[in-house]
A and B are shown apart, each in its own frame.
Chain A
């Protein structure tokens, strides 16, 4: 393992791979710093640039975006009080007050170094667990894979806070997308509705790009002017700090760092929950464990450390599931999964054994991206703040043109651009009707695999009980039912609390 990692580090240190990694990290930091532009949108924009690159170059660039984006959001969160990405929301709670108290440099660099340490701890988890988990997955038959995918889908649907029913329905709608066009087992045409571009099925990347890019951009466009007015930027003249002191401030709280990173990693492993939940949860835990919870919200460094360490460790966790099981942990890894498919590489349990150079190259890119991120931020923090002044009127048309190029380049066909438009409208409507996008996308990604494994299992043995009696498959289905029951219980508890609160005030 260490030999392969060493070889991966040596590979990625070459200019051929380092340049895309640096550019990807830079794009991630800038995209992360821009309020209203998420890491998902940034990686969607970067995707078409990777088509002409070799797989490791493309994945290095994307890993850079992921790592850079997770840290980029903290700059605006701290200096402007506006989280650049949802995963930096918890950083705002203490980062901005600390900056306002006259210590913007300390606030920014505490966040940056916490991101680095959290990210590296996530990296240790990623490198240490991907191989063993992939080996376990190699023992899986179609029954186990079917149950694993059902578990992933039910977890995501159940974790939706607003409505479990809508979460389930969104996941089921994602599965419907995969039944249109063709049958993945025999390749026979079905349910094309007379539309010629549906004949080959619907490719998932234009769906993902359309759903996420449009729901976000149109969501911003519908906000009345002035609603997004920003606070005046803080003066950023005092960003220079004693770096060793900041590093010591973080390392002198080893429990906080480890616990926050662990929360980040575990939430990253669970599909489609994301860095925002990880950072808020870690922040909440840090406050609960603190001897001085009253300091939180007023510029406590612990709050920044917890939030940033967990959201960067989250990246490592998300990469584990895509590399070991082929299940994307979030929208960003879903795009990476698509990039792998474009290069003819199948992610999943065989990925690491069949493509060790690529897999360890990705690990190396992940580790090096953290150092690149520090260097970029050391020189470019001031520019990041200026980048936030790019007008939306210029940014959104350019982003949508890049989405069109990305969709078109997937098959050199305008048909994929139609898919982009149709699912752009659908994504926007889903958000307006309160349907969550994460289960929908996971349904689109896993639909074919669920069908293939179900049919394979039934063709091997038509006994349906095997799904329950095979120990791993049965265990996974039981976990699926349990997670769903837990989600219902939690949902009811929240509803009862809300009702009680209404009763208290309703006098």
Chain B
């Protein structure tokens, strides 16, 4: 059974070999003796070799563990991976929504959602806190960056705002 190291090594080796294969299709320039695929092949070859080494070492370790009958003790505190997945999901939606809704609307929605997820609001006061944070963050970011630092923040294709 592979551990995280083994899976990590396998993923890296597979991705590197795939990219290495793609470099073989890169055409050399007749004017330059060294083509655009020369360096990537070195780097991807190295990465694939290191990934395979990590995988093999992990397989050997797990074999040793099996032979000696060792079992890994479970961690005392389990990380909340679901919360992380949800936050990545919310942030992903924010990034995808940016060009469609525009910075201002997307940011208000994102900050409100993220704040409410991290500290679920209780009662009207809680929701007022969520709304205030979302509005203040968006207004402050908009005023400082767009008005004073001249960064033109994204406008929404759907909203024009």
Contacts and interface: CB of A to CB of B under 8 A. Distances in A.
A421 B133 CA distance: 23
Nearest to B19: A191
Contacts of B118: 221, 392-393, 396-397
Nearest to B90: A397
B145 A405 contact: yes
B158 to A, nearest CB: 14
Interface string A373-401: 00000000000000000011110111011
A27 B44 CA distance: 41
Interface string A398-436: 101110110011001010011011001100100011110
B96 to A, nearest CB: 9
A463 interface: no
Interface string A178-221: 01000101101011010000000000000000000000001001
A77 interface: no
A222 B75 CA distance: 14
Interface string A216-238: 00100111100100000000000
Residue among B94, B95, B111, B150 with max Cβ neighbours from chain A (10 Å): B95
Which among A163, A222, A409 has the greatest number of chain B C-beta atoms within 10 A? A222
A350 interface: no
B36 A190 contact: yes
Interface string B1-26: 00011011100100010010011001
Interface in B80-129: 80-81, 83-84, 87-88, 91-92, 94-95, 98-99, 107, 110-111, 114-115, 118-119
B144 interface: yes
A16 to B, nearest CB: 15
B161 interface: no
A498 interface: no
Interface stretch (A45-53, A81-89, A243-251): A45-53
Contacts of B152: 412
B149 interface: yes
Contacts of B119: 391, 393
Given A190-B40, A191-B19, A48 B151 contact: yes
A207 to B, nearest CB: 15
A165 interface: yes
Contacts of A458: 33-34
A191 B40 contact: yes
B84 A176 contact: no
A466 interface: no
A22 B140 CA distance: 20
A166 interface: yes
Contact of B81 (A222, A414, A462): A222
Contacts of B46: 172, 175
Chain A at the B interface: mostly helix, strand, loop or mixed? Answer: helix
Contacts of A179: 19, 39-40, 43-44
A173 interface: yes
A455 interface: yes
A409 B154 CA distance: 10
Given A218-B87, A428-B84, A176 B149 contact: no
Contact of B92 (A165, A169, A176, A421): A421
A35 to B, nearest CB: 16
Contacts of B151: 48, 51-52, 405, 408-409, 412
Interface residues of A, number: 61
A291 B143 CA distance: 58
Contacts of B133: 394, 397-398
Given A48-B149, A434-B4, A401 B141 contact: yes
A286 interface: no
A397 B117 CA distance: 10
Interface in B133-155: 133, 137-138, 141, 144-145, 148-154
Interface in B41-61: 43-44, 46-47, 50-51, 53-54, 57
A418 B95 contact: yes
Contacts of A447: 43
Given A165-B57, A409-B145, A433 B4 contact: yes
A414 B101 CA distance: 13
Contact of A405 (B23, B29, B78, B153): B153
A218 B54 CA distance: 26
A151 B72 CA distance: 37
Nearest to A175: B43
B36 A188 contact: yes
B52 to A, nearest CB: 11
Interface string A39-61: 00000000011011000000000
A454 B41 CA distance: 13
24 contacts: A51-B151, A163-B5, A169-B47, A172-B50, A175-B46, A185-B32, A224-B78, A224-B79, A391-B119, A397-B110, A401-B141, A404-B94, A404-B95, A405-B151, A418-B95, A425-B88, A428-B84, A428-B88, A432-B4, A434-B5, A455-B38, A458-B33, A458-B34, A459-B32
Given A185-B36, A393-B118, A424-B88, 19 more contacts: A52-B148, A165-B57, A166-B5, A172-B50, A175-B46, A179-B39, A186-B36, A190-B37, A193-B22, A221-B118, A224-B79, A393-B114, A397-B111, A400-B114, A405-B145, A414-B99, A417-B98, A421-B91, A455-B39
